[in-house]
A = this chain, B = another copy of it.
Amino acid sequence: MPRAVVLLSGGLDSYTAGAMARAEGFTLDALSILYGQRHALELEAARRVAHALGVERHLELPLDLRAIGGSSLTSDLPVPEGRDLSTAEIPSTYVPARNTIFLSLALGWAEVLGATDLVIGVNALDYSGYPDCRPEFVEAFERLANVATRAGVEGARFRIHTPLITMSKADIIRTGLSLGLDYGLTHSCYNPTPVGRACGRCDSCVLRAKGFAEAGVPDPALAR
């Protein structure tokens, strides 16, 4: 079975993306980055999700992006609440170059593991407008991966899988439920609320709540 490296945050998107790749026949290895995020508790959820996905390896890599800052997720800036998600404005929760950094690390690890498939749960529909969640970013990274690596030079063809990129949050949830996923394992809130709980006001909580409402099912993380 081909092997894929999935970036796993502990949220519902990366869990679903991983499950979709597994359903396609990939053996999974999971990479989670402890980047100094204020909601570092999500790593506990990532461990549960990695276990539920039956990943072969789960690498938790520390990389303290607070040294770089520039985001309310990695500094003392307040996380915006009750934001109008229909605006084009990129909120302060944007972490400069985060998905570029994370995919780079996944690429390096994949090369060591002999894998050419990377999975990332980015979404460009029900999202916060982050530039590194859009198809043009993913395409540019895929092109880069093939010239950046020994494997690429030797003829391997890296693929960045973004199964959620054009899905609504409700469709993501419906798909995950059809694959038997337990979203009670996940954590989405940007604030350092207890794992599996939610502030209900940050972008991540609002998008998640909207998704469950539109899917017509209760959020099992909140039902606890």
Contact = CB atoms under 8 A, between A and B. Distances in A.
Interface of A: 59, 61-65, 67-70, 90, 94-101, 104-105, 107-109, 111-112, 131-132, 134, 136-137, 140-141, 143-145, 147-150, 152-153
A108 B68 contact: yes
B105 A68 contact: yes
A121 to B, nearest CB: 17
Nearest to A31: B68
Contacts of A141: 144, 148
A131 B107 contact: no
A108 B96 contact: yes
Contacts of A95: 108
Contact of A96 (B61, B63, B109, B144): B109
A147 B150 CA distance: 24
A54 to B, nearest CB: 21
27 contacts: A59-B68, A63-B63, A68-B109, A70-B108, A70-B111, A70-B112, A94-B150, A96-B112, A97-B104, A97-B111, A100-B104, A100-B144, A100-B148, A101-B104, A101-B105, A101-B108, A131-B148, A131-B153, A132-B148, A132-B149, A137-B147, A137-B148, A140-B140, A140-B143, A143-B143, A143-B144, A144-B144
A108 B97 contact: yes
A58 to B, nearest CB: 12
Contacts of A94: 150
A140 B67 CA distance: 26
B149 A97 contact: yes
Contacts of A140: 140, 143-144, 147-148
Contacts of A143: 140, 143-144
A152 B97 CA distance: 11
Contacts of A109: 68, 96
